[in-house]
Amino acid sequence: MKYTKYLLFFLITQFSAQAQAPNTSLDLVQYVNTLQGTNSKHELTKGNTYPTTALPFGMNTWSPQTGNNGDGWKYQYFKETIRGFQQAHQCSSWSNDYAVFSLMPVTGTLELNEDKRAAKFSHANEIAKPHYYKVQFENNITTEMSPTERGVHMRFSFPKNQASYIVLDGYTGMSGVSIDVKNRKITGFVQNGKGFDQVKELKNYFVIEFDKPFKTQGTWENRKGEKAAGNLTAEGKGAGAYLQFKEGETVQVKIASSYISYEQAQLNLKRELGSFKKLEDTKEAARKVWNKQLSKVVVEGGTEEQMRTFYSCLFRASLFSRKFYEEKADGSPVYFSPYDVKVHDGYMYTDTGFWDTFRAQFPLNALLSPQMHGRYVGALVDAYDQFGWLPSWSFPAEAGSMIGNHGISLLTDAWAKGFRTFDPQKALKAYYHETTNKGPQGPSNGRHGWKEYFTLGYVPYPEYGEATAKTLEYAYDDFCGYELARMTNNQFYQDVFSRQMYNYKNVYNAKDGFMEGKNINGKWKQNFDPYEWGGPFTEGNAWHYLWSVFQDPQGLINLTGGDDNFTKKLDAVFTSPNTVNVGTYGGKIHEMTEMEVDNMGQYAHGNQPIQHMIYMYNYAGQPWKAQFHVRDVMEKLYNSTENGYPGDEDQGQTSSWYVLSALGFYSVCPGTDQYVLGSPVFAKTTINLENGKKFVIEAKNNNKDNVYIHSATLNGKEYTQNFLTYGDLTKGGTFKLEMKNTPNKTRGTKDTDRPFSLTKK
């Protein structure tokens, strides 16, 4: 079958129903706190987020800046001053940011230096919503921001009879500015951040328009702080500009940017901001966009705090991945590729790391934003054409961070759920290339130890760092490669990957009951300690990685000695002491501290490897324990405040875990069409699907104590299975649950009730 037929089939089946817009009259943005998770620092993170002002999946975001230029912790709740308002793209404090520039209002004496111009503020004078950010400094300057997809509308209100300056800071790399006094405009570019180091040709062009005339103007550079009064152009490291307006002025500023050209930046500004005369117009338009996105899921019957937590998490989950494409004058998509540095027609996305987000963020997108998701996986294969590799951590080019080759997870998961926006044979070819080579970027660009993995059936340790974690994730990815080949009738790749998708068995040590490091001669790592972090594992220990067999839980159950032993081992995760042996890290990393603070034994929800583990009770005949623990984690480890997460939020993944879990299910094994059941938070949840249908979850008597499912019906018929399929959800219907405060130990316990596993019981 031709790829064009696949695409046509997808478009017909996925969107044949008349799309029904969610109810935008619901003002759900009121529940969102974009400060959620901002009280973070290097030693202990509560999300590592910043108060993002942006549209869903927007190309740019905007944020107040409390940290120094170049500091990954761009906004920390406990800081007392703000030094700028940034265009941002950061998805992790650890990876820092790129394509950044900032504006800062200054009164009194003109101060250009980022430390000297910083102004004190109080959170009592701060509003942080998706569509609108506002803060009043102690010096009485008020700053407001409302976003578009590629721009922002700002307003700076200066105190009466006081000097009014706006400083443009070019940040940490090369930049250029040109001041157009007559047209009240600054054009310029920035080149900063890791992605720009990799792709020298990549520039972020910006256009800034002001609604008030300049009184004086000039340029400056932020290395030595030298300024050139009256100068209209500058280019170099840290080049910036400053403007003076009349005393006590209120200045509206419209900004848009482009990776293609100044002309495209101007077109973006005209299209997205041209019709908005006042900031209130942009604010209202952004509010409507966000309410439409948030009302894709309407929840009822929870507490006020549960509503705030849910919609704050749904907001954060709706930011990634970011659009990297723009629109021509005729509205068609176009983008500058960070992979081959050419301009292409079509869609492109960036700013995500698949090691985190394959688990929940993309399966959530597949459910709530299928049109975008279809474009995304198509663009993933386009990136392979341009780069020669499937991306694994795009930022905006390939960084190769973390481990695994999880692009194949996204592709297989999409195909299993009916998406037909890419050529599966090209996808398989791309994945095969990943599995038989090591690329020039980080660990997940190709494979470390690929030859040994093929010949030995595992990646040896200490010959390769993180080897056991890599073995487990390679085996899962190979399952995805096998599954895509099976679904598309490619026998060659079925034969290749079927040999490797069980390789997890080769790093299981039955003597100790854990996955362990094994050297090239087949000998286990000496002095094994399940509490020891690092070494053969990635940001975790043996307690965390035992469960990384997404594709074959029954096979893992068999290795551990059957259902009883398996569930006892799951129980032991929570009952074991929260002991930390720092191992090869040599000192505590923040993930260790977060596990200790959470005080749930060895359950380390602040990092991704164990986040699916709770749901594995469903595979071993004790689904009620999944129901208890998932509700316990949501209640104890999440909230809507600045301390809202139990660790790094990580590009929407930790938020997506909460959103899916609050709905009552989770994607344990992306690459299949199943979402495994847990326990929903709300008495009623309505999923408003893009195809115009609704899937309603009614949980009778649901509350903080009644976390157990006693009975269930799907569209009026008794339902005992411990999973729902993507088809069940997207066809629409009603899933009714009766909730109680004691477990029903007979429901969902038959072998036929268990979710997918390669090995059958």
Structure tokens at 114: 């980022």
Provide CATH 2.70.98.10 ranges for the chain: 32-296
Residue 599 has pLDDT above 50, yes or no: yes
pLDDT band at 19 (very low <50, low <70, confident <90, very high): very low
Angstrom CA distances, 118 to 71, 83, 250, 417, 439, stand at 15, 4, 20, 50, 43
Q: What kind of fold does domain 32-296 have according to CATH? A: Beta-galactosidase; Chain A, domain 5 (2.70.98)
Distance between CA atoms of 254 and 270, rounded to whole angstroms? 10
Averaged pLDDT, 244-263: 98
In angstroms, the CA 24 to CA 151 distance is: 22
Q: What is the model's pLDDT at position 197? A: 74
Rounded Cα–Cα distance for residues 627 and 611 (Å): 14
Cβ-contact 583, 534 below 8 angstroms: yes
State how far Cα 625 lies from the chain centre: 28
Taking the C-alpha atoms of residue 500 and residue 527, their distance in angstroms, rounded to an integer, is 28
Topology, domain 301-753:
Glycosyl hydrolase family fold (1.20.1610)
Confidence of residue 594 (pLDDT cuts 50, 70, 90): very high
Average pLDDT (681-699) is 98
- For range 238-252, the mean pLDDT: 98
Region 25-38: mean pLDDT is 96
> Going by C-beta distance under 8 Å and a sequence separation of 6 or more, which residues neighbour residue 333?
325, 326, 327, 345, 346, 347
Which tens digit of pLDDT belongs to each residue from 127-176? 999 999 999 999 999 999 999 999 999 999 999 999 999 999 999 999 99
Does residue 705 surpass a pLDDT of 90?
A: yes
Summarised one tens digit per residue, pLDDT across range 41-51 is: 999 999 999 99
Strands 733-740 and 694-700: what pairing? parallel
Q: What is the pLDDT of residues 362-408, one digit of tens each?
A: 999 999 999 999 999 999 999 999 999 999 999 999 999 999 999 99
- pLDDT the model gives residue 8: 43
Region 734-748: mean pLDDT is 98
Cβ partners under 8 Å of residue 147, min gap 6? 53, 54, 55, 58, 60, 61, 62, 131, 153, 282, 286
Q: Is residue 652 pLDDT above 50, yes or no?
A: yes
What pLDDT digit, counting tens, does each position of 299-356 carry?
999 999 999 999 999 999 999 999 999 999 999 999 999 999 999 999 999 999 999 9
Q: How far is it, in rounded angstroms, from Cα 753 to Cα 761? A: 12
Global confidence as pTM: 0.96
CA atoms within 13 A on the CB side of 19: 13
- For residue 308, the surrounding DSSP H or E stretch is helix 304-317
What rounded mean pLDDT belongs to the chain? 95
Asked if residue 557 has pLDDT above 80, the reply is yes
User: What amino acid occupies position 584?
Assistant: T
Tokens of 84: 């700028």
The interaxial angle of helices 304-317 and 653-663, nearest 10 deg, is 130
Given this model, what pLDDT does residue 22 score?
52
Residue spans in the chain of domains classed CATH 1.20.1610.10: 301-753
Query: What's the CA gap between 148 and 138, in Å, rounded?
Result: 28
Sign of the CA dihedral running 76, 82, 83, 86? positive
Q: What pLDDT, in 10s, does the model give residues 179-192?
A: 999 999 999 999 99
pLDDT category at 536 given cuts 50, 70, 90 is very high
In percent, the amount of the chain with pLDDT more than 70 equals 97
Torsion of CA 421, 395, 402, 492, to 10 degrees: 30
Provide the strand spans (E) within 589-732: 665-666, 674-677, 684-688, 694-700, 708-714, 717-718, 723-725
Contact 512, 559 (CB under 8 A): no
Answer whether residue 540 shows pLDDT above 80. yes
3-state secondary structure of 506: helix
Per-residue model confidence (pLDDT) at position 352: 95
Q: Is the pLDDT of residue 715 over 90?
A: yes
Judged by phi (left if over 0) then psi (alpha if -120 to 50, else beta), residue 601 lies in: left
- Contact between 543 and 602 (Cβ < 8 Å): yes
Q: Nearest 5°: phi and psi at 36? A: -55, 125
C-alpha span between 682 and 314 (Å, rounded): 15
Q: Say what the pLDDT of residue 23 is.
A: 55
Q: Going by C-beta distance under 8 Å and a sequence separation of 6 or more, which residues neighbour residue 220?
A: 112, 226, 227, 228, 234, 239, 240, 241, 242
**Residue with structure tokens 């081959």?**
340
pLDDT band at 72 (very low <50, low <70, confident <90, very high): very high
Query: pLDDT tier at 13 (50, 70, 90 boundaries)?
Result: very low
What is the C-alpha separation between 215 and 247, in angstroms, rounded? 10
Predicted pLDDT of residue 198: 76
> Cβ distance 247 to 163 under 8 Å?
yes
DSSP annotation of 490: -
Helix ranges (DSSP H) in 388-487: 407-416, 424-435, 450-456, 467-487
Residue type, 14: Q
% of the chain residues with pLDDT over 90: 94
Q: Residues with Cβ < 8 Å from 67, sequence gap 6 or more? A: 73, 74, 75, 76, 79
